[in-house]
Amino acid sequence: MLQSIRAVFAIVAILMAAACNGPAALSVLPPDLAGIDVARGPAPAYRDAITVASVTVGQDTATPWASQVSPAQVQAALAETLAAARLGAAQNGRYRLDAVLLTLQRPYAGFAMTVTATIAYRLTEVATGMVVYTSTLTTLGSASLNDAVMNDVRLRIADERAVSANFRRLVEELYGLPERGPVTSSRRT
């Protein structure tokens, strides 16, 4: 009997220690590109030609009850996404992609949590300085009790899904860009 009580106290102590750690940091993952014709790919001018440049995170993403997002995490996942979609160039690409994670609108609590991610993108041709694409995309990500029992874990999963959905929408839009001719002018300053 005494051993059973000790075992229960040990389990309770472990669970309490885990709860004190707070929410895990956001781990942004590249989206699933299923359903996008990656084999056909983007217009040839964009194929393996986009380098992820600056990625910044807006102030609305750091509320105290939510998981934290770092620009480095977003930048790494965005670069992975572009590489998987045959758009990314590790360095010195013809195009430079800048992104700003403007907001992650999150609920305080709930059984099913839906997060809204808003990211602004700007694609610039490096040689000319011409902006060839600019857009602010808003996407949703949800998590339910089937995904996780703890609120903070559900919230983190919803965050990840919202950002990942945003990257997927970006790939879809970049695939729709028209072909561009060769660079003929000098770099604008």
Q: What is the Cα–Cα distance from 140 to 134, expressed in whole angstroms?
A: 20
Give CA–CA dist 73/8, Å, rounded: 38
Q: Which residues contact 87 (CB under 8 A, 6 or more apart)?
A: 42, 46, 47, 48, 49, 50, 171, 174
Q: Which residue has the tokens 């602004």?
A: 120
Specify the pLDDT at position 10.
46
Q: What is the pLDDT along the chain (189 residues), one digit of tens a residue?
A: 656 555 444 444 444 444 444 444 556 667 777 778 766 778 899 999 999 998 988 765 545 344 466 788 889 999 999 999 999 988 899 999 999 999 888 877 778 889 999 999 999 999 999 999 999 999 999 998 888 888 788 888 888 999 999 999 999 999 999 887 665 544 444
CB atoms within 10 A of CB 108: 10
| Torsion of the alpha carbons at 39, 159, 24 and 121, rounded to the nearest 10 | 70
98 bridge partner residues:
122
Residue 33: which of 80, 68, 92 has the closest Cα? 80
pLDDT at 3: 62
Task: Locate the domains of the chain by residue range.
Answer: 25-175
Q: pTM of this prediction? A: 0.77
The pLDDT of residue 19: 42
d(CA 11, CA 90): 47
The dihedrals phi and psi of 57, each to the nearest 5 degrees, come to -120, 125
What length does the chain have?
189
Q: Which CATH architecture has domain 25-175?
A: 3-Layer(aba) Sandwich (3.40)
Amino acid (one-letter) located at 166: N
